Amino acid sequence: MTRKLSELVEEQAFTWSGVKPPNMPGVRLAEALESSISGFEALRGLLAFEDEPSSFEAALQATKEVC
Amino acid sequence: MNKPLPSSGVLALSMTDVAAAIRKGDVTAVEATKASLDAFAAHDKAINSAIWLERETALETAEAYDKLQKTGKILGPLHGVPLAHKDMYYKTGKLSTCGSAIRKDFKPTYTATVIERLEAAGSVTLGGLNMAEFAQNPTGHNRHFGHCRNPWGTDYCTGGSSSGSGAAVAARFVFGALGSDTGGSVRLPASICGVTGIKGTQTRVSRYGVMPLSFSADNVGPLCKTAKDCAAFMQVISGHDPKDPTSASEPVPDYLAMLDGDIRGMLIGVPTNYFFDDIDDEVMAAFTEVCKILEARGAIILPVTIPNMDAIATYGGIVSRVEGGTIHAQWMRERPQDYAVHLSARLYGSYGIPAVYYIEGLAKRGPLLKALAAEVFEKCRVFITPTLRTKVPTLLATDIDAGTPGAEKAFMDVSLNTRPINYMGLPSVSVPCGFDSNGLPIGFQIQGRPFAEGLVLKVADAYQRETDWHLRKPPISA
């Protein structure tokens, strides 16, 4: 990555949401997203083609405690 | 009628005990309510647990309940019991600041279902308790209303975001309080203030009329002195609500009846991965004692590996963050200066997270829960971990706004063990289990399958039958 992550976040936040960096801790926490990116990079391939958000409610029922 | 208890002694009772005393006529609703309000008046300056209280209204309500009782009528299991709640539960015409400058004068035009249920059960609502701004920090810092301070040591944080709920219950100002838990916000202040707190299964309790943070991970839950109190509290607030279509239709069992103290032969898992990484020695020692006590009551402790923890931690770290950023976008554009530094800083990063990752986080939630249930809950009924990995930090050490070096990491580390549980949607109760060398409480958390609230409370109650950590009285208390 040639540009700092905080610069990319600044560009994306303003371009898509009209939000500007509020303060320096915000810029530092944006830099800290690097660990999230690494986390997602390590998870590539885990998502199945059929996975969808609504499966969570079904999973709560499928795995629930049975008295 | 028996001789009434002295008002100074009323606040030492648990919520279920004071409710029983009121029903029996040993204590009146007015006596209990006055004792509670007087405790706030006398001691809250030191810990700042309340944002607002309505003394006259509360006493009038209590008086009306006493009159009703004299006619032989009881409203419900909490008849006459004074409670106060995190200041984010809407009640028509009443202040609900959400701990923020932005909503410092906000008065909603509708009432939260959980407030309606608690008041229908007879509780007397005293007012709104301090909280992290918009429920978005794990420490209890609040620039707008003043930091809430720990009754065990006022230099230390209370945990958040339900800071006032943890502090006020620990200090014996109230018998119980609603908190909310999106990444640990009930369990963290419960652990850090030395009280018991539970979040139910995702969807177990209605969120209608509750300030939103993250619709995927928000949970309503109580903080009380004991697991038994939490069971009684959950009994009142749990169950489907037509006003909240996301609330579960799952029947609510009799939680109190499940607290029989019998955990003989119960398999209790202790994770071998993630939850103990870089754990503090004193926290580990307290947790080891927990295992011994549970074993002494007949439970069988066994190691379990929580599968896919990297995925759970990664996904769990962004879902609620993005949802929070989404609902705060307009204010972040128009009035970012009205947020505390740490909050606007945290919200800001959410606008840099691509939607594809957010959706991936939601889509993997079901499969990951199924994998966890198959790997863990086929081997054990519940699993336990420390609620925090560290000793209780000071307010200064975690104060991002003050520019404390290392505060951002210390701040984020507080919720390492609680946040993944929200992502998995599991019921979880935090229970006091000791004190560190600074005199601050240590807690552990118990997790079960979805809708196993009764089971996790049963284990918590069994533990509390052997220990008295939850009954200790902090230096600042009524």
Instruction: Please give the full DSSP string across A26-61, using - where no structure is assigned.
Output: HHHHHHTHHHHHHHHHHTTT-S-TT--TTHHHHHHH
Take residue B193 and report the two structure tokens written for it: 């203030």
Which member of B34, B86, B91, B94 is catalytic?
B86
What element of type H or E holds B434? Answer: strand B428-435
* Interchain contact A45–B (C-beta under 8 A): no
A19 → closest Cβ in B250, B313, B351? B351
- List the domain boundaries for chain A: 1-48
B415 is catalytic: no
Q: How many CB atoms lie within 10 A of CB A18?
A: 13
Take residue A18 and report the two structure tokens written for it: 């009209």
A57:B353 CB<8 A = no
pLDDT-derived band of residue B325, with 50, 70 and 90 as boundaries? very high
Which of B108-137 are b and which e, b meaning 16 or more Cβ less than 10 Å from the residue's Cβ?
beebbbbbbbbbebbbbbbbbbbbbbbbbb
pLDDT-derived band of residue B174, with 50, 70 and 90 as boundaries? very high
Q: How far is residue B113 from each of residues B119, B223, B242, B324, measured CA to CA in Å?
A: 10, 18, 10, 22
Q: Which residue of B has its CA nearest to A10?
A: B352
B363:A59 CB<8 A = no
Question: Cα B435 from chain centroid?
Answer: 19
- Nearest-Cα distance to chain B for A49, in Å, is 10
Q: Which tens digits make up the pLDDT trace of B4-51?
A: 444 459 999 999 999 999 999 999 999 999 999 999 999 999 999 999
Average pLDDT over residues A17-38: 95
* Interchain contact A50–B (C-beta under 8 A): no
Query: According to the model, what pLDDT value does residue A1 have?
Result: 56
Q: How far apart are CA B64 and CA B234, in angstroms?
A: 25
B364:A46 CB<8 A = yes
Residue B188: closest CA among B441, B475, B455, B451:
B441
User: A interface mutation test: which of B364, B411, B447 has the most A CBs within 10 A?
Assistant: B364
Which member of B7, B49, B165, B185 is catalytic?
B185
- Is pLDDT of A2 > 80? no
**Is the whole-model pTM more than 0.80?**
yes
Q: Which residue of B has its CA nearest to A21?
A: B348
Q: Which tens digits make up the pLDDT trace of B80-122?
A: 999 999 999 999 999 999 999 999 999 999 999 999 999 999 9
* Interchain contact B78–A (C-beta under 8 A): no
Average pLDDT over residues B117-142: 97
- Is pLDDT of B1 > 80? no
Tokens 């990951």 correspond to what residue?
A: B368
Q: Which tens digits make up the pLDDT trace of B374-398?
A: 999 999 999 999 999 999 999 999 9
Query: According to the model, what pLDDT value does residue B230 have?
Result: 98
B214 is catalytic: no
